Structure 1
Amino acid sequence: MKSKLKSLIIGLIMVLPLLLLSFATPQKVSAADTDNSVKVTLHKRVFDSAQEAKQNTGEIMNDFGGTGLNGVTFKAYNVTDHYLSLRKSGATAQDAVTAIQSDAKDSDNLPSYAGSAVATETTATSKGEDGIAAFDNLNLKNSDGNYQTYLFVETDSPTDITQQAEPMVLTMPIYKTSDTSAINHDIQIYPKNVKSTPITKDLDEASKKDLAVTLPDGSTIYNAQYGQSFGYNITVNVPWNIKDKDTFNVVDKPDTGIDIDASTVSIDGLTKGTDYTVNKKDNGYQVVFKTTSAAVQALAGKSLTITYKATLTNNATPDTAIGNTATLNIGNGTDITSTPANGPKIYTGGAQFVKKDSQSNKTLAGAKFQLVKVDSNGNIVSYATQASDGSYTWNDSATGATTYTSDTNGLVALKGLSYSDKLDSGESYALLEIQAPDGYAKLDSPVKFSITKGSFADSNKITIDNTKEGLLPSTGGKGIYIFLAIGIVIMIVAFGGYKAIKKHEEI
């Protein structure tokens, strides 16, 4: 109901200046004016929101506002006979104009009295101004000397125009503002439209709440871990003339790392298979609307919402913004207008560790770790198990926990994690060493670390040192000479002591 009321108000605002212009000037003509042609130039203007009514003057209005809009097609019809018939039947000029406008609201089903269009023009750039459609050499009067009445109907417009402009009726003659006795043969009219964004894309509210993380600079980004699902909403503002289009579809293609479940695509108020079809395309999908469907045509000038679910896969690279773009395609034949809409970027977290010898700084292969969460006292509260698709589950037992082993470069990489800010209060991520490299002592306690935006960068690699275990010399090795030397010294000292005691006894 609100949408219909809003559309009605906008329509009245658009047409009011033209009505006022027609009624503000009396139907009279200067006897000296013998020119029977008139030129009507439409200056199509578009605004971001509904505007207050502004009186057209019939002349150039540099302060009218708005932006010139190209690509709008108008048709002009001569409705003089019907207008005069209404007047003769007692209708006022305003009532007659209103009746004709009402009859012409459906541009595809104009009243029979409109006949064929006397001219068709599409707005384009003229003399540096956008939105110009000039109707040249229209008759001021007919052969019976009656002033003409023209109906101007908008029959096509760009896809970001969801509401059709109200039909315009001009009754001749129109007089100059500078000389009210002089007929204006070069009439300037400023019809208005309100534009809308053809397509927008965003996460649904539940997913926003689940994924949102506030960074130190106060900005908000969306973070997910491998295997996590989230929902999107795509809003399409359906053009008023959608029934005249043979192409109406939306193609949704995410970047690598996001996989859309096409089976979850749904559109409230429309029936899959009857009003639209869904086709799987790579890791995205395409929705094709049937413009012949009564339900789709009923959405003309309104909006529809596409909803679906997606999952972050283990193809996502930590700290890389993963996008998701939906493109709206509307048109006929090869004349297609494509409008993209980007969804919010998704990020996943990670960290890299390098295992090294604490003395030589040599990287160490073969160290084995488990990913755990610890409380504020360093006690382990859960162990991570990572599935083949990269998703994580957390258990209070080490049974089945995934083991991560340092490679030949001493590297251990953890990917696809939620940021540390999303952990329970007091909890931290940590690596628990369960087996040290051969010849090295195993670490006594887990190594805490944080996952944040940027933590996976090479410059933020975390070094984990190991210390060699104490060494005893091998039999026959160089160490034996030390013991031999010590033994000889002891024997010499003992022998010297023995000789001294023997000599003392002889005395």
Structure 2
Amino acid sequence: MELDSAPGDPVEDVVFEVRRVSHSGTPIDMRTIAGQQLAAQVLGSWDGVSLSAPFSVPSTGVEETTDEDGLAVFDNLELGLYLVEEVSAPAGVTPAGPFLVTLPLSQPGPHPETTSWTGDWWLYNVHVYPKNAVTPAPVKTVEDSEIHHRGQVTTWTITTTLQGAPHDLNGDSTITGDEVHSFTGFAVRDDLDSRLVYLADSLKLKVDGVDLVPADYTVTWDPAPDEEGVVPAGAVMLIQFTEQGLAKLNAAGDGGELAVSFDTVANASGVIPNTAQVYTNGYDTELGPDEQDVPPTVTPTVEQKFGGITLVKTASDTNAAQPGAKFQVWVDVNGNGKLDEGTDTAVDQDGTAGPDVWTTGNDGKVVIDGLRYSNWADGKAVTETDPEYNKYLLVEVDAPEGYSLLAAAVPFVVTTPASGEGATQVPVVNKPFNSGPELPLTGGAGLGLLIGTGAVLMGGGALLLGLHVARRRREQAAAAAALL
């Protein structure tokens, strides 16, 4: 008998196996009273785990796989008692527990297709509906909205909802307590991008917000860390739960949350993708992650983005390229397009030598790289009105000889790679000294040049004054001589 509306959504690619139950080596025959009595005996003592002697099943049976409608059809079975077990399921689907079913199946009357029979009747076309729990897919997130450039710390987090399955963990042939929704193995794998470097001792695991301890899991890296414990960029991290850790997962029960977080820094620019793989029920610690019978569930890809601009420096009077101009990049914290050294911060990607300085080459260009995309933060697009949107400032700290420093910072944003196809070019034009005054930036970035320029002007003023006085004196002496 088939229900008009089956409970739940269909699950495809689930493999079921049926094996006929025997008594003392003889298959139970539901066509006989004796067979029906034996079946009732088995069903009455069934613990949901295994059969006890003298009842048994063969080592192998018949397998079928569910289609897109969630149906697995077993045709031409002998009339008897069958053990139905789920052999495998897609990633993210928790297997249903084993169960027994008789063929035919006794049904209470009246018969649905005739009014002449009101007693119990036999159903030969049996439909069963084992319930698989579909575990919500794990999620990978990145937290980088507070950073502005490479070298700053980014936190990645893998979050998964726990969904166990029935297991006789203590071997007593019963399933009770935490065993009802339990795990016999659990692992998390993260293949870091080659541009990501793991920060030592940053790994944290929590179950329902409670920290796990190192004895709850093991961590291996491929390639292995060096003698100083530094993990190579792009290494593969594998976390495997110990018996102690599995007990904590089992205690959390279905719906519990496991969170795995760690920190990295980026050592190169570009769009940096990252995913994680979560292995739940059926994970075997004796096998490698690529050798598991049960495939992992893969998180959606999350991305971090670093890029920059190509600065193009030219002279206003000749339009020629200007080599040797030096620039710093500042984060425009206030977003007002002006340099405020009280709140804005200079970009220092290595964190050791002070603000980074970029110098234009012979072609007047310099590639400024390693900045977080302005319009991308925490793994998603952001707009200019969002607080996570990064704005930057170009500050000239040394102009080519004969040319004035820029009077103000040049605001810009980063939405592309720093160079190559599609790169953003930012033009910067300098005026020569004799083209009129161009007030330099005040504050640390331009103060030194302002003081130096002031000294030259004062010195020049003194020189002009001396020449003027000397000329006046010569003119007066010549006039006096003419009177003699």
**TM-score, structure 2 length as denominator?**
0.60
> How far apart are the structure 2 equivalents of 1:426 and 1:168?
60
Partner of 1:350: 308
Counterpart pick for 2:153 among 228, 232, 236: 228
Shift of 1:367: 0.2
Is 1:381 equivalent to 2:341 in the alignment? yes
Shift of 1:286: 0.8
Amino acid at match of 1:381: E
Contact 1:198 1:339 in 2 (8 A): no
1:100-249 alignment runs, 5 A limit? 100=45, 103-105=46-48, 107=49, 110-112=50-52, 115-117=55-57, 120-124=61-65, 131-132=71-72, 134=74, 136-139=76-79, 150=81, 152-158=83-89, 159-162=91-94, 164-165=96-97, 167-170=99-102, 172=104, 174=106, 177-178=112-113, 186-197=124-135, 199-203=137-141, 207=143, 211=145, 225-226=149-150, 227-235=152-160, 237-240=162-165, 248-249=186-187
Unaligned runs of 5+ in 1: 1-56, 141-149, 213-222, 394-399, 472-507
Structure showing the higher strand proportion among its residues: 1
Counterpart pick for 2:403 among 440, 460, 466: 440
> How far apart are the structure 1 equivalents of 2:145 and 2:294?
36
Partner of 1:276: 217
How has the CA–CA distance of structure 1 residues 114 and 138 changed in structure 2, closer, same or farther, with 3 Å as cutoff?
farther
Counterpart pick for 1:371 among 309, 329, 339: 329
Secondary structure, aligned partner of 1:365: coil
Is 1:71 equivalent to 2:71 in the alignment? no
Shift of 1:277: 0.7
> How far apart are the structure 2 equivalents of 1:384 and 1:392?
15
Partner of 1:416: 370
Counterpart pick for 2:263 among 300, 310, 313: 310
Contact 2:322 2:400 in 1 (8 A): yes
> How far apart are the structure 2 equivalents of 1:356 and 1:414?
17
> How far apart are the structure 2 equivalents of 1:371 and 1:342?
34
Residues 440-477 of structure 1: per-residue CA shift (max 9 Å, x gap): 23222222x23243485755311001234449xxxxxx
Contact 1:248 1:291 in 2 (8 A): no
> How far apart are the structure 1 equivalents of 2:425 and 2:250?
58
Partner of 2:461: none
Shift of 1:172: 4.6
Is 1:323 equivalent to 2:273 in the alignment? yes
How has the CA–CA distance of structure 1 residues 245 and 228 changed in structure 2, closer, same or farther, with 3 Å as cutoff?
closer
> How far apart are the structure 1 equivalents of 2:54 and 2:5?
34
Counterpart pick for 1:429 among 392, 407, 418: 392
Max Rg structure: 1
How has the CA–CA distance of structure 1 residues 77 and 293 changed in structure 2, closer, same or farther, with 3 Å as cutoff?
farther
Is 1:464 equivalent to 2:447 in the alignment? no
> How far apart are the structure 2 equivalents of 1:469 and 1:133?
89
> How far apart are the structure 1 equivalents of 2:318 and 2:283?
69
Partner of 1:485: none
How has the CA–CA distance of structure 1 residues 240 and 156 changed in structure 2, closer, same or farther, with 3 Å as cutoff?
farther
Is 1:255 equivalent to 2:193 in the alignment? yes
Amino acid at match of 2:149: Q
Secondary structure, aligned partner of 1:287: strand
Amino acid at match of 1:225: H
Unaligned runs of 5+ in 2: 170-181, 223-233, 376-383, 436-484
> How far apart are the structure 2 equivalents of 1:425 and 1:309?
21
How has the CA–CA distance of structure 1 residues 133 and 257 changed in structure 2, closer, same or farther, with 3 Å as cutoff?
same
1:488-503 alignment runs, 5 A limit? none
How has the CA–CA distance of structure 1 residues 328 and 428 changed in structure 2, closer, same or farther, with 3 Å as cutoff?
closer
Shift of 1:252: 0.1
How has the CA–CA distance of structure 1 residues 310 and 224 changed in structure 2, closer, same or farther, with 3 Å as cutoff?
farther
> How far apart are the structure 1 equivalents of 2:187 and 2:133?
20
> How far apart are the structure 2 equivalents of 1:378 and 1:413?
22
> How far apart are the structure 2 equivalents of 1:162 and 1:135?
26
How has the CA–CA distance of structure 1 residues 465 and 439 changed in structure 2, closer, same or farther, with 3 Å as cutoff?
same
Amino acid at match of 1:161: V
Amino acid at match of 2:217: Y
How has the CA–CA distance of structure 1 residues 238 and 261 changed in structure 2, closer, same or farther, with 3 Å as cutoff?
farther
Shift of 1:326: 0.9
Shift of 1:354: 0.9
> How far apart are the structure 1 equivalents of 2:243 and 2:390?
54
Contact 2:199 2:265 in 1 (8 A): no
Secondary structure, aligned partner of 2:405: coil
Contact 2:82 2:100 in 1 (8 A): yes
Is 1:341 equivalent to 2:299 in the alignment? yes
Shift of 1:276: 2.4
Shift of 1:71: 1.8
Shift of 1:327: 1.8
Residues 127-153 of structure 1: per-residue CA shift (max 9 Å, x gap): x9764252744345xxxxxxxxx3634
Partner of 2:250: 298
Partner of 2:468: none
Amino acid at match of 1:132: A
> How far apart are the structure 1 equivalents of 2:136 and 2:331?
46
Partner of 1:144: none
Amino acid at match of 2:328: Q
